[in-house]
Amino acid sequence: MTVPDESLFTYPWEARAIKKRQQRNEAIPEEWRLRQNLLGSLKTPLERCKNNLMELNLVRQSGILTVKELQITESSDVTSLLEALASGQLTAEEVTVSFCKRAAVAHQLTNCLTEIFFDRALERARYLDRQKGKGQLVGPLHGLPISLKDSFQIAGVASTLGLTAYLDHRAESNSALVDILLALGAVLYCKTNVPQTMMTPDSHNFVFGRTLNPWNTSLSAGGSSGGEGALIAMRGAPIGVGTDIAGSIRVPALCCGTYGFRPTASRIPYGGQHGCADEGLAQILPCAGPLANDMKALSLFVKAVLQAKPASYDASALDVNWRDFQGQFGRKLRFGLLPEDPTYPLHPPVRRTVAEASRLLQASGHEVVELQSAECRISEALQVAFALFALDETADGIVKAAGEPPIPSRIRIGQELGKAPQQFVSDLRNLSELKQLSGLNLKRQELISDWCRLWQKYEIDAVIGPGGRTTAIEHDEFTLPPYTVLMNVLDCPACIIPFGRVTASDAAERLDLQPGQVVPSYNPLDLEGIPCCVQVFTSKMTDEKCLYISEVVDKCLQAKESFVVARDADA
């Protein structure tokens, strides 16, 4: 490895960051590295050129995975994969090798990984196979490879969070969820990229660089769990675990076309994370949750973790076991339809997708009640959330002390916040920080109380609506997340369900903004073929209900997708 000459760089940390990046890349075995002629087929620079990695199918073209390894990573949903592992049809070692190879390829194309420890994973897989040979399954996730966002700590593995200040950090112990996943039989093999400070929806930092969207490398993969979104989309992991404080699981899911679940805070254990925030100022609690390529995988993951009694691993976790909702609805469901907020209009493909999902649910016999924007208070929730986030200057201080400039998406968020309305919190602006904190907590409780009345008023089982104002969008432009941070303010479980793509016909619909409206520019030709989605959420502590209803919605929507695919194939 060539050591960079520190005299050549503007910032004192640059040489160390480049060295860290080189060490990561050299952890990929030589025989798993992409041929230069394959990479040469892509338009460059990747982050400014439209490359659809999914359609190009470079994973197959690479020749790195065998036919069986391609089948393991592409053909199986998580339930089938676990059944094959439990029956002995597949070994933990061959499944782990398959996903390590695929993760290696995904990383070389999208820059999604931060830490690579494939050798350690293979040792773990061989141990699990020995236990299976003795007739013992270690747990319900026996042999299942799972990727983790960089903030999760694994003893002996670095956790830099993409911050040069943390380049020397190496975990001494496991996060609580890591201990649970190991007890359940999982195999951990890589960690994934995040933004600087983990407080923007674009996974870019000066240590590892920018994660690219597999559907279009000129677009954002989302954040802050963007590495997970890209890795899962490329089937480099059967399940990945992200975290969410304003949409950080759901934004990458919607950008990359995967499923993603944000649970009620503290149900999935969050303890032992490596962070860059003041935990004493955490009013809106971050939470951990899964991303996957099939809906049932989300329920399977959550159920397995909750049945492991997380409170015995993590003092901050709620001691509430999995509660089965299957079969509890002997009737059609009643949905509230989340409206556009007047300040934050939707891009045409998002508006069309939500309307089509509503139509299909009604065609299946479910009720859909249109909620009113004034009572949903989306803008007010965003104002409260970002005012609370602004009280904690810890991350900004860490970045400045290390001499790093802010990444572009952090600058863009600040610019957009300056344009967004602040009337709901403006009366707190000149108060002391303690008084501001008190006032913001009271305003948050007002929103929670209003939504409590709203659930009762309409007698709805769940709410369906957009995951964001946009689909995936140009790098650094996703900015504010009003349609996801609402659930963090309310602490409601929420699920992203992929549904359809941006079509050529979407370009015909204009986006005409009214005074005071805030939304990224709409460039439909850049977005054609990008995944669309809907979001489903239920009231606080009804995670199992949210997952069950999301499965109902998914089946309804995917039935339409299957019909369209079959029709197009016949044509």
Dihedral sign (CA 412, 290, 55, 528): negative
| Active-site entry in 20, 132, 149, 191 | 149
Smallest CA-to-CA distance from 27 within 124, 157, 145, 204 is with 157
In the residue annotation, 101 being an active-site residue is answered as: no
Which string of b and e fits 400-420 if b means at least 16 CB within 10 Å?
eebebebbbbbebbeebbeeb
Q: Is 446 exposed, middle or buried (0-12, 13-18, 19+ CB in 10 A)?
A: middle
**Tokens 């799972």 sit on residue:** 146
H or E element at residue 12: none
Residue 281 is given by DSSP the state G
Q: Say whether 224 counts as a known binding-site residue.
A: yes
Query: How many residues does this entry show for the chain?
Result: 571
Q: Say whether 336 counts as a known binding-site residue.
A: no
CA 205 to chain centre: 17
CA distance 471 to 399: 29
Q: How many CB atoms lie within 10 A of CB 30?
A: 6
Q: Is 296 exposed, middle or buried (0-12, 13-18, 19+ CB in 10 A)?
A: middle
**Tokens 């709620």 sit on residue:** 318
On whether the CB atoms of residues 210 and 35 are closer than 8 A, the answer is no
| Active-site entry in 147, 159, 220, 224 | 224
Cα 197 to Cα 84, 175, 213, 435, distances in angstroms: 40, 19, 20, 26
Q: Is 466 exposed, middle or buried (0-12, 13-18, 19+ CB in 10 A)?
A: buried
CA 540 to chain centre: 20
Strands, E, within 406-520: which ranges? 462-465, 494-501
Vertex 139 angle, CA 135 and 145, to 5°:
105
On whether the CB atoms of residues 543 and 267 are closer than 8 A, the answer is yes
Q: How many CB atoms lie within 10 A of CB 423?
A: 9
| Active-site entry in 248, 299, 358, 539 | 248
Strand partners, 336: 369, 463
Q: Say whether 198 counts as a known binding-site residue.
A: yes
User: What residue type is 547 in one-letter code?
Assistant: L
In the residue annotation, 173 being an active-site residue is answered as: no
In the residue annotation, 248 being an active-site residue is answered as: yes
Q: How many CB atoms lie within 10 A of CB 354?
A: 24
CA distance 338 to 364: 19
Q: Say whether 247 counts as a known binding-site residue.
A: yes
* Feature table: binding site for substrate: 198, 224, 245-248
Catalytic residues: 149, 224, 248
* Feature table: binding site: 198, 224, 245-248
